[in-house]
Amino acid sequence: MYKHVFLTGPPGVGKTTLVQKACEALVSSGVGVEGFYTAEVREGGRRVGFDVVTLAGERGDLSRIREGAGASHGGRECMVGQYVVDVPSFESLALPLFRHVRLQADGPGCRTKVFVIDEIGKMELFSQPFIRAVRQTLDGSSCTVLGTIPVPKGKPLGVVEEVRSRRDVKVFTVSKENRNALLQDILTTLQECLKRGRQNQ
């Protein structure tokens, strides 16, 4: 039986937009939603990086294009393609969200019912504490996770494959053709997960 919902699909297909629409629908139906999504940062029409944005509206750097090749060879830079990943900035915004959900789960009357993780991808996986937090949240029984994972390409990402193969995870593959029709399916599955969660409490 499914407990969590994840979306996968090629970059730029609209996974984050679907997550945001699902969140709006959940909130308007009275469901408590927390978590974060990633947003493109554009300057003069060109993508220069990504930010991590919490559902409460806080924003921090996730990655930026490194200007000028060979700018820094001294430090151990975390790179994905042309992007330098700002792991401390990401952790300072994302990790407290996981802690908050876990603390709520231990307390009476958990308010957060759906926790958003957009996304579990190469950039985010530079953070070991993030990987641990993802596993703990998926294994915990308190909330349903709505997340996104990349399509398999090249070397498999351990945690991503773990998520994909979990029996309690329903994975929707988003394409340009189906993305408008998928929202209702995603919401229906989430509502079923939440209903089951209430029965198990």
Whichever domain contains 148, its CATH number is 3.40.50.300
Task: Give the closest residue to 6 by CA, choosing from 91, 119, 83, 102.
Answer: 119
Number of domains within the chain: 1
* Cβ neighbours of 183 (radius 10 Å): 14
Q: Where are the beta strands (DSSP E) in 10-161?
A: 33-43, 46-54, 59-65, 79-80, 83-85, 114-117, 144-150
Question: Is 122 a member of any domain?
Answer: yes
- Single pTM value for the model: 0.91
Tell me the pLDDT of the chain averaged across its residues: 90
* DSSP line for 137-159: HHHSSS-EEEEEEEPP-SSPPHH
Is the Cα dihedral 180, 3, 32, 6 positive or negative? negative
pLDDT attached to residue 71: 43
**pLDDT for residue 74 is more than 70:** no
Residue 9 lies in a domain: yes
Q: Is the per-residue pLDDT at 141 higher than 90? A: no
State how far Cα 123 lies from the chain centre: 12
Q: What is the mean pLDDT of residues 81-97?
A: 96
Asked if residue 134 belongs to a domain, the reply is: yes
Overall average pLDDT of the 125-135 stretch: 96
Domain that holds residue 194: 4-38+87-198
Residue 38 one-letter amino acid:
T
Closest-CA residue to 19 (of 118, 98, 90): 118
CA 129, 186, 19: angle at the middle one, nearest 5?
50
